[in-house]
Amino acid sequence: MMGAVMAALSVEARRRLSRPSCLSHCGHAAARYHRSDSSDSDLELSTVRHQPEGLDQLQAQTKFTRKELQSLYRGFKNECPSGLVDEETFKSIYSQFFPQGDATTYAHFLFNAFDLDRNGSIRFEDFVIGLSVLLRGSVTEKLNWAFNLYDINKDGYITKEEMLAIMKSIYDMMGRYTYPCVRDEAPSEHVDKFFQKMDRNRDGVVTIEEFIETCQKDENIMNSMQLFENVI
């Protein structure tokens, strides 16, 4: 289950982030880095609707170097001159990497996971903090981020319906023409099995503690976490 989410998040991540040419594996992978004068000491802040926090503050909040943050920002600004990404733009960019399927619903869930202040747009800070967790965070940090993705209504619990909605969106995104062929009932069967494993006290919801404990004991999930290591 978590392996499927990690696989979906990391499609083309290694190829696109192995060289400084792309922004992200989570919706902004098409945004490009740009060359700059090495003497630049801070983010290039042009006339935009939203100006990000200072470079020092972002460096303290993430695990990116100053140079990496500068490169990330230039790519972000190139694709999003206003300094903000709305949901439709996010969906459009993300869908480019899954032409064989329909990424609209999954991109919606992913957008909400990045939109930290729930205002309907992603700021550079939102983007880079989430990217730092996914690429360089600890296992616990990555699992907390994934829990937030599954917790669609942000009430602190994951229901079977929420888990199924995420899983169906992943299957839709990967396309019906994948090999081996995926049966229509596969997402539901997958969720039934995994939810039963996670819901340890059988109360019908999965808490963050249950989620993390179950994932940490699953070898496939732990292996999927390694997809994000050292890709920048």
pTM exceeds 0.95 for this model: no
Give, for all 232 residues of the chain, the pLDDT tens digit: 444 444 444 443 333 333 322 223 333 332 333 333 333 434 444 334 555 668 889 999 999 999 999 999 988 888 888 889 999 999 988 888 888 889 999 999 999 999 988 899 999 999 999 999 988 999 999 999 999 999 999 999 999 999 999 999 988 888 765 555 556 677 888 899 889 999 999 999 999 999 999 999 988 777 766 654 533 3
Instruction: Specify the residue for token string 């792309």.
Output: 22
Angle at 106 between CA 105 and CA 107, to 5 degrees: 90
pLDDT of residue 218: 87
pLDDT of residue 75: 86
DSSP 14-59: HHHHTTTT---SSS-TTPPP----TT--S----S-S--PPPHHHHH
Instruction: Specify the residue for token string 């170097």.
Output: 65
Q: Which of 29, 36, 58 is nearest to 125 (CA)?
A: 58
Helix (H) or strand (E) holding 219: helix 219-225
Q: Is 84 helix (H, G, I), strand (E, B) or coil?
A: strand
pLDDT of residue 42: 46
Cα 158 to chain centroid, rounded:
18
What one-letter code names the amino acid at 223?
N
Cα–Cα distance between 97 and 138 in angstroms, integer? Answer: 26
Residue 94 structure tokens = 């993300």
| Interhelix angle 208-216/186-198, nearest 10 degrees | 100
114 contacts: CB under 8 Å, gap ≥ 6: 26, 27, 90, 122, 126, 127, 130
Q: Which of 155, 128, 149, 153 is nearest to 63 (CA)?
A: 128
pLDDT of residue 53: 65
Helix (H) or strand (E) holding 159: strand 158-159
In degrees rounded to 5, what are phi and psi of residue 206?
-110, 125
